[in-house]
Amino acid sequence: MSDMDITDTMEKVAMDIILHAGDARNYALEAVSFARKGDFSAAKDKIQCARNSINDAHIIQTNIIQADARGIKHELSMLFVHAQDTLMTIMSEVTVFEEMVHMYQLILCGGDYVE
């Protein structure tokens, strides 16, 4: 595999991580919007979609880390660093947004939280 192929592959990997992380953020924001309107079933579905997207990004990240552990080295690029940063940030956001859904449920349901 040429240097150009490896660079192209790492750019695709980074973009895929960013794409899945961005999808997760969008789903989580939709969840909060549904919760604000009192539609907790839809909110929980969107949180699950967000978690699934985070998982997809995490699988890609893990594959790169495992390849590195096996001695397959990749050129570190700013795009890949950005992808890692984006993923970690959005993982935290999804956790916070999930808690916001729970808080909306407590507030709008008079303190009765339903799992």
Q: Give the residue numbers annotated as catalytic, written as ranges.
A: 82
Measured distance CA(45)–CA(27) in Å, rounded? 9
Residue 9 to residues 54, 76, 98, Cα–Cα distance (Å): 20, 12, 33
Measured distance CA(101)–CA(105) in Å, rounded? 6
Measured distance CA(74)–CA(6) in Å, rounded? 7
